[in-house]
Amino acid sequence: MSDPSTLAQLPTPALLIDEPVFAANMGTMSAALPRSALRPHVKAFKSTDIARRLVQAGHEKFCAATIRELEGMARAGFGTDLLLANEVLDCSRLGRLVDGGANITVAIDSPETLRAAVDGALTDVLIDVEVGLPRCGCSVDDAGRLADEARSVGLNVRGVMGYEGHLMMVADPDERRGRVERSMTKLLTAHEAVGGDIVSAGGTGTYAVNTWATEIQAGSYLLMDTQYATLEVPFEIAMTVLATVISVSRKGWFVVDAGLKAFGMDHGNPTYPEGELLFCSDEHATLKPAEGDPMPAVGDRVRLLPAHVDPTVARHEQFWVHDGEAVLDRWPIDLRHW
More confident residue, 55 or 3: 55
The pLDDT assigned to 60 comes to 96
Mean pLDDT of 268-281: 97
pLDDT digits (tens, 9 = 90+) for 94-127: 999 999 999 999 999 999 999 999 999 999 999 9
pLDDT at 307 over 70: yes
pLDDT at 140 over 80: yes
Cα–Cα distance measured from residue 330 to residue 226, given in angstroms and rounded to the nearest whole number? 23
pLDDT at 300 over 80: yes
Max distance between CA atoms of the chain, in angstroms, equals: 73
Mean pLDDT of 38-57: 98
Q: What does residue 304 show for φ and ψ, rounded to 5 degrees?
A: -115, 145
Listed in sequence order, the residues at least 6 apart from 212 whose beta carbon sits closer than 8 Å to its beta carbon are: 180, 181, 184, 185, 187, 188, 199, 201
Q: Which of 44, 39, 43, 77 is nearest to 61 (CA)?
A: 39
DSSP β-bridge partners for residue 199: 160
| 3 state SS for 139-190 | CHHHHHHHHHHHHHCCCEEEEEEECCHHHCCCCCHHHHHHHHHHHHHHHHHH
CB 200 within 8 A of CB 85: yes
The pLDDT assigned to 231 comes to 96
Mean pLDDT of 21-38: 98
Mean pLDDT of 180-187: 98
Mean pLDDT of 122-138: 98
Q: Percent of the chain, pLDDT > 70? A: 100
Neighbours of 151 (CB within 10 A): 14
CB 10 within 8 A of CB 316: no
Pair type for strands 156-162 and 198-201: parallel
Cα–Cα distance measured from residue 188 to residue 116, given in angstroms and rounded to the nearest whole number? 26
pLDDT digits (tens, 9 = 90+) for 232-244: 999 999 999 999 9
Q: Which of 178, 163, 306, 172 is nearest to 232 (CA)?
A: 172
pLDDT at 1 over 70: no
pLDDT at 49 over 80: yes
pLDDT at 305 over 80: yes
Listed in sequence order, the residues at least 6 apart from 38 whose beta carbon sits closer than 8 Å to its beta carbon are: 29, 30, 59, 215, 216, 218
Pair type for strands 239-248 and 301-304: antiparallel
pLDDT digits (tens, 9 = 90+) for 202-234: 999 999 999 999 999 999 999 999 999 999 999
Q: Tell me the pLDDT of the chain averaged across its residues.
A: 97
Neighbours of 286 (CB within 10 A): 17
The pLDDT assigned to 2 comes to 79
Mean pLDDT of 124-151: 98
| Complete edge-to-edge strand list for the sheet that includes strand 81-84 | 61-64, 81-84, 104-108, 124-128, 156-162, 198-201, 215-216
pLDDT at 71 over 80: yes
Q: Which domains does the chain possess?
A: 7-14+235-332 (2.40.37.20), 20-222 (3.20.20.10)
> What contacts 24+ positions apart, CB below 8 Å, involve 75-79?
76/48, 76/51, 76/52, 78/48, 78/51, 78/52, 79/103, 79/104
Mean pLDDT of 277-282: 97
pLDDT band at 283 (very low <50, low <70, confident <90, very high): very high
The pLDDT assigned to 146 comes to 98
Q: What is residue 21's three-state secondary structure?
A: helix
Separation of first and last alpha carbons in the chain:
30
The pLDDT assigned to 193 comes to 98
The pLDDT assigned to 338 comes to 83
The pLDDT assigned to 3 comes to 87
